[in-house]
A = this chain, B = another copy of it.
Amino acid sequence: MKWDELDTNWCPVARAMSVVGDRWTLLILRDCFLGISRFEDFQKSLGVTRHVLSERLKRLVEAGVIEKHAYSVKPPRFEYKLTPKGKDLGPALAALKDWGKMYMPVRRQVQSEN
């Protein structure tokens, strides 16, 4: 199969990956679960480029995983919130969290010389 045809795959895991399998997507959703909802906050939290963040949010909205709505019209300001479909990714994220806690111990980042 091809990566951009995962949505028609027989396997439900593959179909799930067609929505949440791209780089950064699952971490954006983790941030949603932590209460983050604004573009700037996702960007600061993750360090993902604005370009990619914009593209991922658009995709997640299209897929019905999150919703975008204006919390202010003047000035125009938006927030992204999990839909029920998005909230139901909670168990998957929780399982990844548990696994990470168990098997991926925290290692201090090596400080650069400069």
In the complex, which of the residues B16, B24, B98, B102 contacts A99, with contact meaning CB atoms closer than 8 Å?
B16
The number of chain A residues with a CB under 8 A from chain B is 48
Q: Is the CB of B85 within 8 A of A89?
A: no
User: Secondary structure at chain A's binding surface: helix, strand, loop or mixed?
Assistant: helix
Report chain B residues within 8 Å CB of A109.
5, 8
Report chain B residues within 8 Å CB of A103.
64, 85, 88
Report chain B residues within 8 Å CB of A97.
11-13, 16
Q: Is the CB of B13 within 8 A of A26?
A: yes
Q: Which among A10, A13, A101 has the highest number of chain B CB atoms within 10 Å?
A: A13
| Residues of A in contact with B (beta carbons under 8 Å apart) | 1-3, 5, 7-8, 10-24, 26-27, 30, 46-47, 64, 85, 88-89, 91-104, 106-109
